[in-house]
Structure 1
Amino acid sequence: MQQIRSQRIFSLISGLWVGSFITIGFLVVPVLFSSLGDRQVAGLVAANLFKTTAYIGVALSAFLMVMANHLVRQGDEHYRIIRWILLGMLACAVGAAFIIIPWMDSLRDQALYLGLSVRESTNAAIFARLHGVSSAIFMIQSVLGLALVWRATKNAD
């Protein structure tokens, strides 16, 4: 009974987490850019959303990893593969939260200090490359998140 409750909690948390960051990335941020007239303001808001999402991702992927380990120790082999998916998601979240996003924030702050948008600064090319890397990481994390929810809600055979 305790194991079934743990599995349900795991599925609930993973579903809410994955659903929230996919909603932010594929719905909220595009609406921001299409609704706000100022792309720089939209970019700042989007950056804060992605930063918060990345920090939450680090915490929840680590927490879910602990839960998956607990379920495997209780004999639920179904969660062995899920741990690998979570490890990938944790790597994506750590890379975004502690490497890519701070670097992009630094470039944005340097441009703002000079009274420019980052697209007008001398760092525009590197910012664009980091934006591409960040987008790729987000896409990988989204696919892994969908796989996580799919596997977590699958009945163990």
Structure 2
Amino acid sequence: MTQRLALLAAALWWGSLTAVGFVVVPLLFKFLPAAAMAGNMAARLFTAQTWVSVACGVVLLLLHKNKASAPDGRARTALFLIVFGLLMALLIEFGAAPHIRARDNLALWHGLGTAMFALQWLCAAAVLWRAPADWGAKP
């Protein structure tokens, strides 16, 4: 049960980041009549995505806590990836996004937000890739 829940949380985290960041938001900018409309909708989607990321990350952290009594190097790596990915999600939402919405030095904050989103995506991908081994059945 723990293995399936961890795999589901990791898949939802990575899949939702992929869908929103690499499919839905680019389509908004392509098909909505004004960039401002697309930007406003993208901001709402990224906020929703942040809370999906937080929920998935918390589930993974709780499962990680219950799984590892004495964390080895592999468990520490998994913990680092989860925490760092969550940190990126929260920094985007509470650090970069307010500046982007205010159009305060837009190029800088949009670039930082994009970089943090990419780092979060990589963390989620690594957690998903490693999930079968990290939460698999014990020998």
TM-score, normalised relative to structure 2? 0.87
What value does the CA root-mean-square deviation take over the aligned residues? 2.0
Higher relative contact order, structure no. (Cα contacts within 8 Å, ≥ 6 residues apart)? 2
The count of aligned residue pairs is 135
Alpha-carbon distance, 1:63 to partner: 2.7
* Structure 2 equivalent of residue 148 of structure 1: 127
Within the candidate set 100, 104, 107, 1:128 is matched to 107
Whether the 8 Å CA contact 1:68–1:80 is kept in 2: the answer is: no
* Structure 1 equivalent of residue 83 of structure 2: 87
The structure that has the greater radius of gyration is 1
Runs of 4+ displaced beyond 4 Å: 75-78
Percent identity among equivalent residues?
A: 29
Question: Secondary structure in 2 aligned to 1:93?
Answer: helix
* In structure 2, distance between residues paired with 1:61 and 1:94: 11
Structure 2 unmatched ranges of 5 or more: none
Alpha-carbon distance, 1:142 to partner: 0.7
Alpha-carbon distance, 1:62 to partner: 2.5
* In structure 2, distance between residues paired with 1:11 and 1:101: 29
Within the candidate set 48, 55, 66, 1:70 is matched to 66
* In structure 1, distance between residues paired with 2:109 and 2:71: 40
Q: Residue by residue, what CA displacement relative to the aligned partner does 1:12-46 show, whole Å, maximum 9, x if unpaired?
A: 11111210111110001111111112111001000
TM-score, normalised relative to structure 1? 0.77
* Structure 2 equivalent of residue 36 of structure 1: 32
